[in-house]
Structure 1
Amino acid sequence: MKALSISLLLGASLALSATAASADQLADIKSRGTLVCGTLGTAEPFSFPEPQTREIQGYDVDFCKALAKSMGVKMELKLIAVAARVPELQQGRVDVVIANLGYTAERAEQIAFSNQYFASETKVAARKESGMTQVKELAGKRVSAVKGSSSEAGTRRAIPTATTVTFQDPSSAFLAMQQGKVDGFALSELSLIKFKAQSEATVPLVTLEPALFLEPWGVGMRKDEAALIKQVNTTLDAMEKSGEALQLFNKWMGASTPYKMQRGFKIEPIKG
């Protein structure tokens, strides 16, 4: 009986130790020496292949690098689909998600969000020949969006009488609009700028007003990981204070880029 009691106590102790270890994800990352960062790899200028080397680069990737550096570990990128961002995180296949992940109340029930590191207006583009200028003109029509994205949810919410047609990636959703299979294409304003420029010579586009919504983006993490959440937010706040965050914005979206945008947000807690 005594031996059995000792065995049970030992088993309980080991179980508690394992639970404690798995609960401190930041310690696990540092012990492993690698931060696994989930990103899209298909969303210029956030994460996309460099034409010559095919190495994934972009605004989101640079934030992955900054977080890994702050932890003193190497960065490992894992390319994930839009619809898989939350599941990949919940199932422990990635440590953090930096992948155009817009804050929604529904997502916040499933995962933790960092302070915002980007804020995006989501808009709808249409073929210029359609004559449309307003979002309300899409009532009863077809609009494409990326499956599982906040653009999909925002389109359904803002234009409830439209039929939202989903695709696995932005390029496919854009092509459907170019080919006339849908009447509009919903995506972040920044990405639409690039698509409009690519399409100008063949199928001129117009951006419909007003924007569907303004969306803060955050780093996605598993809930109840207080140490990791604090580490990520501390790093983001330091990047804002030092000017590094602004430098990254200008590098990928500023005056010397095709987007020629000015930063109209700062890193701060998401007001959800």
Structure 2
Amino acid sequence: MKKLTPVVVVAALLLTACSSGNYEATQIPAKPAPKVTTAAPPAAPKPCTDGQDPLASYAPDANVPAPGTPMPAGTILETIQKRGRLIAGVSADSLNLGSRNPISGRIEGFDIDMINMVADAIFGAPAPGEPHKVELRVISSPQRIPLLMDGKVDIVARNMTINCARWDQIAFSAEYYRSGQKTLVQSDSTAKSVADLSGKTICAPAGSTSLDNLKRKNPAVKPITADSDTGCLVLFQQGKAAGISGDDTVLAGDAAQDPYAKILPERFSDEPYGLGFQKGHPEFVRLVNKALADMKADGRWQASYTKWLGKLGKTNPPAPIYGRTQGL
């Protein structure tokens, strides 16, 4: 029988937020989000209904401004630069992706490194010891798309899967990481795959592709949701869920926080991560894709991956796919 572990420290992550700079981070209250029909793309995704590859983003071009130079007049880039900071929606409870460091009080992780890269592409790299010009806003999975569409955040880096349905609502950068869905269970579970969990209550974050994938993989499971990854972990530790299904990156963080948990080896989806943007600003996406390509080429991407996600195994950054014309 699995021992129940204390959830006070884990649950506290849901209630905390911090900034990577001198700007006070805010946690946006959760509210019901409009239903988003999603489908995880397979390894070789089919074209969207408009004929475009879901992983295709806007190609950088000669007009991409250099970091720290004046941004083009009348664009969202100029608005961000004049404001003096990038406003980013992130997680504060996904260990190694975006989580609060209990010692420094800062939110850090692989997704946060992506956000700092974007800020530096606009404002230039900060001087040694100075913070990146970023305001982090802690958001839940269901809030990602609504907040982008409302313009409440400039960008979202919260392990968000690129797919056709989401392209209808927001825009994406080129893929910056390829995750996959797995399932976490009690360490004494005899299950080998999701097929062995029929009748079991399994948690997946609301508004995520993980929930849809889980239902398709085994309709006989009893899915429940939480607004965050830590919310699912709390339910699991309280014995209200027999398991958690989600991205391997997130589950690795969950397992690190619970010695009585293990991750099943079965991987049943591909989850290509993209940075999310409000539609109608391809110049912003082009700048970010240029910065992301530079980060992959000069070793910064690999260094960040090794630091935060290296325990998942060796990997190379995903090659970008360009050619997007939608929204131009």
1: distance between equivalents of 2:264 and 2:322? 27
The match for 2:290 among 223, 234, 255 is 234
> What is the aligned partner in structure 2 of residue 192 from structure 1?
251
What does the per-residue CA deviation read over 1:85-140, in whole Å, with 9 as the maximum and x for residues that have no partner? 11111101110111111112221211011111111111011223331112111233
Structure 1 SS opposite 2:161: coil
1:216–1:270 CA contact under 8 A, matched in 2: no
Match of 1:132 in 2: 191
Q: Does 1:58 align with 2:104?
A: no
After superposition, what is the alpha-carbon deviation per residue over 1:159-179, rounded to whole angstroms, capped at 9, x for unaligned? 223221001222231232344
CA deviation after TM superposition for structure 1 residue 30, in Å: 2.1
Give the TM-score taking structure 1 as reference length. 0.82
Question: How far off its partner does 1:209 sit?
Answer: 4.3
Please name the residue that 1:107 is paired with.
166
User: Aligned pair count?
Assistant: 245
Q: 1: CA distance between counterparts of 2:217 and 2:171?
A: 26
Query: Runs of 5+ in structure 2 lacking a partner?
Result: 1-72, 125-132
Deviation digits for residues 232-265 of structure 1 (CA, Å, limit 9, x no counterpart): 11111111111111111112122xxxx3531244
Q: Deviations over 1:130-152 (max 9, x none)?
A: 31112111233321111112211
Which of residues 220, 237, 248 is equivalent to 2:276?
A: 220
The 1:248–1:140 alpha-carbon spacing in structure 2 relative to 1, beyond 3 Å, is same
SS of the equivalent of 1:144 reads strand
Name the CA distance, whole Å, in 2 between partners of 1:232 and 1:90. 18
Question: What is the 5 A alignment of 1:10-21?
Answer: none
Shift of 1:267: 4.4
For the residues of structure 1 that align with 2:241 and 2:214, how far apart are their CA atoms?
13
Per residue, is there more strand in 1 or in 2?
1
Distance 1:67 1:115 in 2: 13
Q: C-alpha separation between the residues in 1 aligned to 2:118 and 2:85?
A: 11
Q: Where has structure 1 moved over 4 Å in runs of 4 or more?
A: none
Task: Report the residue type matching 1:160 in the other structure.
Answer: P
Tell me: higher relative CO, structure 1 or 2? Use CA pairs within 8 A at least 6 residues apart. Answer: 2
In structure 1, what is the equivalent of residue 153 of structure 2? 94
Contact residue 193 and residue 266 of structure 2 kept, 8 A: yes
Matched, 1:157 2:216: yes
Match of 2:44 in 1: none
Which stretch has the larger CA shift, 165-174 or 229-238? 165-174
Residues 89, 222 of structure 1: 8 Å contact kept: yes
What residue is the counterpart of 2:91 in the other structure? 40
Work out the percentage of aligned pairs sharing the same amino acid.
28
Q: Given that residues 199 and 220 in structure 2 are in contact (C-alpha distance below 8 angstroms), is that contact kept between their aligned partners in structure 1?
A: yes
Residue 269 of structure 1 is aligned with which of 321, 324, 327?
A: 321
Displacement after TM superposition at 1:270 (Å)? 8.2
- Counterpart CA distance in 2 for 1:102 and 1:131 is 30
Q: CA RMSD in A?
A: 2.3
Give the residue type in structure 2 aligned to 1:269.
I
- Structure 1 residue ranges without an equivalent (≥5): 1-20
Q: Distance in 2 between matches of 1:49 and 1:206?
A: 23
